[in-house]
Amino acid sequence: MRLKAVLDVTDALLLDADLSGIDPDAVAAAENRVARLRRRLRRRRDRASFDLLVEAELDLARRMDEREEAVARAMGSRA
């Protein structure tokens, strides 16, 4: 159920798809890191905090893109 929620897919797609290349915990960890760094930036407002947040946001975007691509590949393999 957790994987289904993280990937935002239907039961049928999840049961039928090869999503072995996706680590749902990696996306959640990246989201948590971004949230922590946003709070830090609100408190500190320094360049180092800003740079860390930008890096974390880019990492999160990359992980989300990878997840979307894996789901699209899995859906394409079913067609």
pLDDT single digits (tens) 10-65? 665 555 555 566 677 888 899 999 999 999 999 999 999 999 999 999 999 999 89
pTM for the structure as a whole: 0.68
CA quadruple 53, 54, 56, 57: dihedral positive or negative? positive
